Amino acid sequence: MDIDRRGLLKVAGLTLLGLSVKPGWQVFSKDEPAEPSPDAETLARKRWGMGIYVRKCWKEEGCRDCIDACHRIHNVPDMGTLKEEIKWIWKAPYENVFPEHEFEVTQEDYQQKPVMLLCNQCDNPPCVKFCPTRATWRREDGIVMMDFHRCIGCRYCMAGCPYGSRSFNWRDPRPFIKKVNLDFPTRTRGVVEKCNFCVERLAQGLIPACVEACKEKALVFGDLKDPKSEIREVLKFKTLYQRMPELGTKPKIYYIL
């Protein structure tokens, strides 16, 4: 068969066009795009925060419901010693939590009364600035997240956190967990951990475990950006205390006395 230049070009062009039919079809026939992950914008519509009624917490002495609930579902080990202690939510004496408050005449009323402490989920978290591997970062909805896969255990974040919210796994924590929760990973030796505001429960539409566990309803959780949310109602017209607000970290745990 004799083929001239023009004919060859025609055939070649048609062949190329034919070859592009299938990929083209695939591109344009995409009926259902993959479910978008909640992107930055969607997340940023919310800002999670917590209010703590300090006095309600004093009603039952020695109550540890919130601590136990949190530590159980997050596989937080009980290391036994204070030096190696790992804590996501814990309590400390009032005078240590708010040393700037006046105690000269009220000492007896407040001394040694427990106050619940947890990660303050700061708007301006120093731990995030210090992390050299970006293993910890602030999510758009305000939760200071922790990627255990990425943590190298340098503990700069622990040095940076003014609230002492972070704990380091000096040893393999597995043997120190009484009952392992399968739905949440344990940690390994050499990583830092802290409260994650129950991000895995929020994703399922549940409230944090500590809030759920509290019988006295001393903990209130909600979206600070929603003017109708429970937390906003609670925070309205109340005297609120934050821990060390003067540092400019903008903590989102509010204490109501």
Partner 1 sequence: MYDGRKIIPGLILFLGLVTYPVWHNLASGKSNYVPKPKLPTDKKECIEPKEAIRINHKTLLEDWRNSVVRNAGKTYVAYNKKKYTMSLNRTCMNCHKDKAEFCDQCHNYAGVTNKCWDCHIYPKQLEEKQS
Phi, psi torsion values for 40, nearest 5 degrees: -50, -40
182: contact with partner 1 by CB under 8 A: yes
Selected from 166, 187, 194, 243, the binder of partner 1 by CB under 8 A is 187
Selected from 121, 186, 229, 249, the binder of partner 1 by CB under 8 A is 186
Q: In whole angstroms, give the CA distance from residue 64 to residue 125.
A: 27
Strands 253-256 and 48-53: parallel
CB of 188 within 8 A of CB of 180?
A: no
Q: How many residues bind partner 1 (CB under 8 A)?
A: 24
180: contact with partner 1 by CB under 8 A: yes
> Dihedral of CA 182/43/123/149: which sign?
positive
Identify residues 146-175 at the interface with partner 1 (CB under 8 A): 147-149
Give the nearer residue to partner 1 in terms of CB position, either 31 or 61. Answer: 31
183: contact with partner 1 by CB under 8 A: yes
Burial grade of 135 (CB within 10 A; 0-12, 13-18, 19 or more): buried
Which residue in this structure is represented by tokens 């539409």?
A: 205
CB of 48 within 8 A of CB of 253?
A: no
Kindly state the smallest distance separating residue 102's Cβ from partner 1, in Å: 43
Kindly state the smallest distance separating residue 35's Cβ from partner 1, in Å: 5
Selected from 18, 23, 36, 99, the binder of partner 1 by CB under 8 A is 36
Q: Which residues are at the interface with partner 1 (CB under 8 A)?
A: 32, 34-39, 43, 137, 139, 145, 147-149, 179-180, 182-183, 185-188, 199, 203
